[in-house]
Every structure is written in structure tokens, then in C-alpha cells.
């Protein structure tokens, strides 16, 4: 390229893109897409395209809000019949009698809360324990594998937990675990009565396995967010490894860990298939954990497609609405607690 060429008078940035041949006005445009120069020249179309682009992605984003609003609106309008008929008695009534048209949701609320509580009792220590194991104890070559395997638990479909529960866990509970519990702990009243295997205890255990990955991954995340100076300071005072973890890490991360537990609780409350397959599906409030029960999610799964009259459907949708509200509230609490810890490293020092 000679310097005498008048083309070299172009602004420097054109060198970044191939120089375009001179065309007459009606010559076809290059097929390699617009060059930066074209785009500058046609800046008015660029602005138009920008607005269109922004409009399209904004529409996508707002469709999420629209979907959630639509879900709420449908749940409320479909359950209106039941809300008007029963009012607050819906949540205090004990009888669930579709034939007589009497619907009280207490047995389902009890079953949902109790099975989730059993799950938390088992999953919280195990989830935190496995998080401590992965971050602090595990030999580093194994660390990635172990955390992958724990997270894999969250990827297994609910129906497969249910299948495994029916054919493996329930017989195990019936033949080994429940007789032992009945022998030593029957005096509490929680472990008495006939041992079916399938029942509240089985549902709680399967839920525990399902929510462990949520607790452990959040716990790991918040443990890593604790500044290492905290840990080092405690170590420098001569603490053992456990004391370092307890006072330097876990204590600073406790709000976040609590958030993880609430998140897992939200999952447990709404879990459907595995629980439906294992809880026994009987709308009764029994003290013994061996007895069958029923949950809010599983009554919808079992009875929704055979609900014939409008009031029956409406009552089931109202249970769905209640489930929706409970999980939304628990998610909000969980998110706030986790954000406090992981955003901006606001972990407070308690050591």
C-alpha cells in the first residue's frame, strides 16, 4: 500500500477491518456482515435495532413476572369456591370427606410439617457434617469427586427416590430399623404400633436424603465466604482444627447455614412424588412415626385427577395455594440470610 494512495487518508480505525472496495451507490452490500464503518454510517438503524433488542430481552424478563402472577391468579380464582365455603375452617378442620363435601386440611398440614421436620432432624447434622468434611477434612484429590457425588443426589429424580424407597428403604425400615426403635424407644410414643415400613418415618428419611445436597452446598458456600483471616486468627491462638472450624468458620457462617436449612425446608415441604410413594396416604393424625400419613403435595397428586365436583377440585387447589405461599415465604427468608453472608463478604466476626 503506497502512501500516495488517497485511500490512506481514511481514519486509522478502518485499518482494523478490511478496506472496502469503492462501490457505486446501488452495489450489493458485502456478504460478510456489516463492518464497523457501515454501522457507524447507519447509526440511525443501529439505534433502532438497539431499541428492538432491548425490547425483546425486556419482554423475556417480564414474562417471568407475568408467569408468576398468572400462576397466583389461577390458584386464587380456582380455589375461590373452597375459600368462600370454608374460610379459615379449611385449615383447622380434621375431616376430609369428598363424598359428603367436607374438606379440612389439618391432616395434610400435619403430615407435611412432620415429614419435613423428621427430614431436617436427619439432614441438618449430616449436611453440615459432609460440608465440613469436604472443605476441611477431605484429602484434596478426592474433594472434587466427593462434592460432585453429593450434588448428584440433587439431580436424581424424585420418582426414582420413590421407587428405591418402596423396594429397598421400606423393607429395610420394616425388618431392621423399626423393630429396634420400637424395642428401645416405644415409651416415647413416637415409635409404637404396627410396623409397615411405609409411613411417616420412611417419608422423612427419603426427604432427608433428598435435601442433604441443598444444605451441604449452601454451607460450603458460606464457609468459603468467611474471610481466611478469621480462621488464621483463631489458629494463631493455638486452637485445634475443630475449634478453628467451630469458632472461626461455622460461627461466622451460621446465618448463611440457617438460610440453607430454610431453603432445604422449602424443598421438603413441596416435594411430591417420593413422599406420595412412601408415606402411606392416609389422612390421619397419628402420634407414632410408624403410622401412615398424608401430605399437602401428595393429596394433590393422588386425588386431583379423580376429583369430580367443583368443590373438591377447588379444595385441592386451595391446598396448592397454601403450599405456594409457604414455599415463597421460606424462600424469601432463606435468600435474605444467604445473601447477607455471601454478598460483599459481610461476615461478621464473632470469634
Residues 63-92 that bind other proteins (CB under 8 A): 63-65, 67-68, 70-71, 74-75, 77-78
Which parts of 193-212 interact with other proteins (CB under 8 A)?
209, 212
Is residue 125 involved in binding other proteins (CB under 8 A)? Answer: yes
Rounded Cα–Cα distance for residues 307 and 314 (Å): 9
Rounded Cα–Cα distance for residues 122 and 109 (Å): 20
Is residue 335 involved in binding other proteins (CB under 8 A)? Answer: yes
Write the CA distances from 237 to 95, 135, 136, 231, 349, integer angstroms: 61, 21, 19, 10, 15
Count of CB atoms within 10 A of residue 82's CB? Answer: 23
| Contact yes or no for 96/183 (Cβ under 8 A) | no
Is residue 58 involved in binding other proteins (CB under 8 A)? Answer: yes
| Contact yes or no for 79/321 (Cβ under 8 A) | yes
Identify the CA nearest to 313 among candidates 4, 36, 74, 8.
74
> Contact with other proteins (CB under 8 A): which of 129, 143, 193, 251?
129
**Complex with other proteins: residue 87 or 171, whichever CB lies closer:** 171
The footprint of other proteins on this chain (CB under 8 A) covers a number of residues equal to 97
Which parts of 152-171 interact with other proteins (CB under 8 A)?
152-153, 155-164, 166-168
Helix (H) or strand (E) holding 102: strand 102-103
Tell me the sheet residues that pair with 102. 97
Which parts of 252-291 interact with other proteins (CB under 8 A)?
263, 266-267, 269-273, 277
Rounded Cα–Cα distance for residues 80 and 78 (Å): 6
Helix (H) or strand (E) holding 96: strand 96-97
The nearest distance, CB 96 to other proteins, in angstroms, is 17
**Complex with other proteins: residue 192 or 223, whichever CB lies closer:** 223
**Complex with other proteins: residue 144 or 189, whichever CB lies closer:** 144
**Complex with other proteins: residue 237 or 349, whichever CB lies closer:** 237
The nearest distance, CB 169 to other proteins, in angstroms, is 8
Which parts of 8-47 interact with other proteins (CB under 8 A)?
13, 16-17, 34, 36-37, 39-40, 46-47
> Contact with other proteins (CB under 8 A): which of 10, 23, 94, 241?
241
Note the residue count of the chain.
351
Amino acid at each position: 500500500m503506497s502512501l500516495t494512495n488517497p485511500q490512506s487518508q481514511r481514519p486509522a480505525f478502518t485499518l482494523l477491518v478490511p478496506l472496502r472496495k469503492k462501490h457505486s451507490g446501488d452495489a450489493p452490500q458485502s456478504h460478510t456482515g456489516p463492518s464497523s464503518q457501515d454501522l457507524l454510517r447507519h447509526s440511525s438503524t443501529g439505534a433502532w435495532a438497539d431499541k428492538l433488542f432491548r425490547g425483546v430481552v425486556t419482554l423475556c424478563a417480564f414474562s417471568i413476572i407475568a408467569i408468576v402472577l398468572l400462576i397466583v391468579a389461577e390458584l386464587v380464582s380456582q380455589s375461590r369456591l373452597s375459600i368462600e365455603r370454608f374460610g379459615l375452617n379449611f385449615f383447622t378442620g380434621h375431616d376430609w370427606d369428598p363424598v359428603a363435601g367436607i374438606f379440612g386440611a389439618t391432616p395434610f398440614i400435619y403430615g407435611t410439617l412432620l415429614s419435613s421436620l423428621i427430614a431436617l432432624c436427619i439432614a441438618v447434622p449430616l449436611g453440615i457434617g459432609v460440608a465440613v468434611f469436604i472443605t476441611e477434612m477431605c484429602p484434596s484429590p478426592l474433594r472434587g469427586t466427593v462434592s460432585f457425588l453429593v450434588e448428584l443426589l440433587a439431580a436424581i429424580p424424585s420418582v426414582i427416590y420413590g421407587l428405591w424407597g418402596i423396594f429397598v428403604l421400606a423393607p429395610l425400615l420394616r425388618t431392621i430399623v423399626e423393630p429396634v426403635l420400637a424395642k428401645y424407644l416405644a415409651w416415647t410414643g413416637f415409635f409404637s404400633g404396627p410396623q409397615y415400613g411405609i409411613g411417616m418415618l420412611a417419608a422423612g428419611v427419603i426427604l432427608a436424603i433428598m435435601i442433604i445436597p441443598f444444605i451441604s452446598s449452601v454451607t460450603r458456600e458460606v464457609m468459603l465466604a468467611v474471610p481466611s483471616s478469621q480462621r488464621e486468627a483463631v489458629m494463631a491462638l493455638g486452637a485445634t482444627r475443630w475449634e478453628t472450624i467451630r469458632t472461626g468458620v461455622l460461627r461466622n457462617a451460621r446465618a448463611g447455614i440457617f438460610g440453607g436449612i430454610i431453603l432445604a425446608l422449602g424443598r421438603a415441604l413441596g416435594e411430591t412424588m417420593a413422599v406420595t410413594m412412601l408415606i402411606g396416604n392416609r389422612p390421619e393424625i397419628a402420634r407414632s412415626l410408624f403410622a401412615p400419613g398424608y401430605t399437602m403435595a401428595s393429596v394433590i397428586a393422588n386425588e386431583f385427577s379423580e376429583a369430580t365436583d367443583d368443590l373438591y377440585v377447588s379444595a385441592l387447589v386451595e391446598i396448592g395455594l397454601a403450599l405456594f405461599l409457604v414455599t415463597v415465604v421460606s424462600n424469601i427468608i432463606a435468600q435474605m440470610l444467604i445473601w447477607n453472608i455471601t454478598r460483599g463478604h459481610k461476615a461478621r466476626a464473632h470469634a
